[in-house]
């Protein structure tokens, strides 16, 4: 498929997700589809997340959550199960419910070890009607961020990703000791059926694999640049 053969604005939500899942083979088409997908649903997702989570994570936290949710959707587009058929309104509700579940899981991960309820937002929320007129722009990933995301997806197991994500949720640049609260570690041990010492080993191993993956791909990128005429 040539990247110029389609108009993203004419595609259905479900077809946009299919195009996004082709990122490895057709990156330009995938990113064009992602831009359209983001434009269609960002105000809705911001509205429902603002209502559900602003009291806990604040307005800036909601904006970060929306950005992260869309990037996760881009990475996981191939996992979306389409409704099919001609009912596009039902398909849109399904897509938005899927986005809501991604946001919910992100908030739930950050809230582990804390005694508070996390609300699941769905595609039937009507909060968009009262949403403030505030657009969340789509931020492009830096080269380093793209390398980290690729490394998380390609170099690590699901278990390793789970451990690193749990630790990252509590990262504090002002602190010398980067370690989640005790309750979070206990919940992680229970979920993964392992010990705290093994959690530390998994984290250490995952960080090394991630660094090695990033270093290798940085070298490859520099080699490619050497062959590009200036």
Across the chain, the runs of DSSP E, i.e. the strands, are none
The mean pLDDT of 201-222, rounded to a whole number, is 81
pLDDT surpassing 70 at residue 112: no
The mean pLDDT of 196-207, rounded to a whole number, is 88
pLDDT tens-digit profile of 22-46?
Answer: 988 888 898 899 999 999 999 889 9
The mean pLDDT of 193-202, rounded to a whole number, is 88
- Residue 199 falls in which region: left (phi positive, over 0), alpha (psi -120 to 50) or beta: alpha
pLDDT surpassing 70 at residue 60: yes
CATH of 141-230, one of 1.10.10.10, 3.30.70.20, 3.30.70.890, 3.40.50.150: 1.10.10.10
Give the confidence band of 224 by pLDDT, cuts at 50, 70, 90. Answer: very low
Structural domain boundaries in the chain: 8-138, 141-230
Give the integer Cα–Cα distance in Å for 215 and 122: 40
- CA distances from residue 87 to 44, 48, 101 in whole angstroms, order as listed: 19, 23, 21
Closest C-alpha to 118, from 71, 172, 56, 163: 56
Show the DSSP H helices in the chain as ranges. 13-20, 27-75, 88-111, 143-154, 158-168, 182-192, 196-226
Give the integer Cα–Cα distance in Å for 87 and 121: 22
């Amino acid at each position: 498929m040539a990247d110029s053969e389609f108009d993203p604005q004419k595609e259905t939500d479900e077809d946009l997700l299919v195009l996004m899942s082709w990122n490895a083979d057709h990156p330009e088409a995938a990113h064009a589809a992602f831009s359209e997908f983001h434009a269609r649903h960002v105000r809705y997702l911001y509205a429902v997340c603002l209502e559900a989570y602003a009291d806990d994570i604040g307005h800036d936290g909601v904006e970060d959550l929306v950005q992260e949710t869309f990037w996760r959707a881009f990475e996981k587009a191939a996992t979306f199960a389409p409704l099919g058929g001609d009912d596009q309104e039902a398909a849109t509700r399904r897509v938005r419910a899927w986005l809501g579940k991604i946001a919910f899981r992100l908030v739930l991960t950050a809230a582990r070890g804390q005694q508070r309820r996390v609300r699941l937002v769905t595609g039937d929320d009507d909060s968009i009607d009262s949403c403030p007129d505030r657009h969340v722009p789509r931020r492009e990933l830096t080269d380093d961020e793209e390398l980290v995301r690729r490394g998380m997806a390609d170099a690590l197991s699901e278990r390793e990703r789970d451990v690193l994500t749990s630790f990252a949720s509590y990262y504090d640049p002002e602190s010398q000791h980067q370690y989640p609260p005790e309750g979070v570690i206990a919940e992680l041990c229970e979920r993964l059926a392992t010990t705290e010492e093994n959690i530390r080993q998994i984290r250490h191993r995952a960080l090394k694999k991630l660094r090695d993956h990033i270093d290798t791909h940085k070298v490859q990128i520099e080699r490619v640049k050497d062959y590009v005429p200036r």
